[in-house]
Amino acid sequence: KPAPDATRPAEAKPARDAARPADPAAAPARDPLLDPASARKQAPDVYRVRLVTTKGPILIEVRRAWAPLGADRFYNLVDIGFYDDVAFFRVIDGFMAQFGLHGRPAVSARWGREAIRDDPVVESNKRGMVTFAKTARPHSRTTQLFINLSDNPNLDQQGFAPIGRVVEGMDVVDAIFKIGEGAPRGHGPAQQQMRRVGNVYLRNRFPKLDYVTRAEIVD
C-alpha cells in the first residue's frame, strides 16, 4: 500500500497492529499446495506435460475438448508442483498405473475436499489414455489419475473421462513397478494410510514403488 504521507503526523494505531507487517509484501507467502482457490486457471486448448519418473520420462498431451474440467484441474496441479515426488501406488498389470496422492498428509487432506464435477466421456479409455480416478459417487474427481495399460472400454460406461494420452514414453509406463491392487483387496498400499502418513509410509513399507519425481508443463 502507499507509504504514509511524511508531511502529516501518523495516526496512532491499536497495539495489536504492531506485530503486523507494514508492507503486505513482507507477509509470508501462502503455500499454493494448501490453497486450492488460487489454482483455478483455464488450461490451454492443448498442452503437454512431462512426467519425470524413476523409470524415465513420460510425455502426456492433454486436450481440453475431451474433458475441460479435468484438463483444467490437471493443468493447475502440475503448475503448482503437486505431482512432484508422488508415487505410482496402484499399478495392475494389463489394466492401469495410478498416481496422484500427495506425499504430505496436509496437502492430501486439503485437496481431498476439492472434487470437480464429472465431464462427459468423449474419448475411450484405450491403452495410453490418461484419466482421472474417481469413486462410485458422481463428481468425486480430485487429484488422482491413471494411465491405461490396455484398452479398457468398460471404464467408459462407468464415467471415466480421459483428458489426454501418452505421446512419448509408453515403454516407460510399461516398466513401472507393478505393485498390484491396494489393500485390503490386494497387497499394495492402503490409501487411508497414505493419506494419514504420506510418503514415509510408502518408502518404509513399499520400497520398490516408482515415483513421479517432477511434473512440468512443456508447451
Residues 6+ positions from 134 with CB-CB distance below 8 Å: 118, 140, 141, 159, 160
| Per-residue pLDDT tens over the stretch 74-128 | 999 999 999 999 999 999 999 999 999 999 999 999 999 999 999 999 999 999 9
pLDDT of residue 101: 97
Mean of the per-residue pLDDT values for the chain?
90
- The pLDDT, as a whole number, for residue 9 is 36
CB 60, CB 165: distance < 8 Å: yes
Task: Say what the pLDDT of residue 11 is.
Answer: 40
CB 51 within 8 A of CB 83: yes
* 20 part of a folded domain: no
pLDDT confidence band for 219 (50 / 70 / 90): confident
pLDDT tens digits, residue range 11-44? Answer: 444 444 445 555 555 555 689 999 999 999 999 9
23 within a domain of the structure (yes/no) = no
Residue 6 lies in a domain: no
pLDDT tens by residue, 186-208: 999 999 999 999 999 999 999 99
List the domain range (segments joined by +) for residue 97: 40-217
Number of domains in the chain: 1
Asked if the structure places residue 83 within a domain, the reply is yes
Taking only Cα atoms into account, the Rg of the chain, rounded to an integer number of angstroms, comes to 21
Query: How many degrees, rounded to 5, is the angle at CA 73 between CA 126 and CA 83?
Result: 85
Pick from 60, 91, 75, 36: which is nearest to 202 by CA? Answer: 91
Residue 3 located in a structural domain: no
Q: Is 156 helix (H, G, I), strand (E, B) or coil?
A: helix
CATH number of the domain encompassing residue 170: 2.40.100.10
